[in-house]
Amino acid sequence: MAEQNKISSRTMALISFAPWILYGFASGFNHWRIAAGGGLILCLGFLALTMRRGVSIKLPDWAMLAFFMIAAVMIIGLRSTAFTVYSAVVVWMCFALAAWGSVAIGRPFTTAYARETAPPEFWEHPIFIRLNLLMTLVWCGLMTVNIGFAAIGVIVGGNLSKPLLSYALPLVLLVAGFAFNNRFPARYLARSGVQMPTASAPAA
90 and 160 both lie in a single domain? yes
102 and 67 both lie in a single domain? no
Q: Global pTM?
A: 0.88
Give yes or no for residue 99 having a pLDDT over 60: yes
- For the chain, the domain total comes to 2
Domain boundary among 32, 51, 78: 78
In tens, the pLDDT along 51-63 reads 988 888 999 999 9
Give yes or no for residue 186 having a pLDDT over 70: yes
Separation between Cα atoms, residue 128 and residue 113, nearest integer Å: 12
Alpha carbon of residue 98 to chain centroid: 10
Separation between Cα atoms, residue 41 and residue 43, nearest integer Å: 5
**3-state helix, strand and coil shares in percent for the chain, rounded to the nearest 5:** 80, 0, 20
Domain boundary among 61, 78, 95: 78
In tens, the pLDDT along 124-164 reads 999 999 999 999 999 999 999 999 999 999 999 877 777 88
46 and 87 both lie in a single domain? no
The whole domain housing 96 covers: 81-204
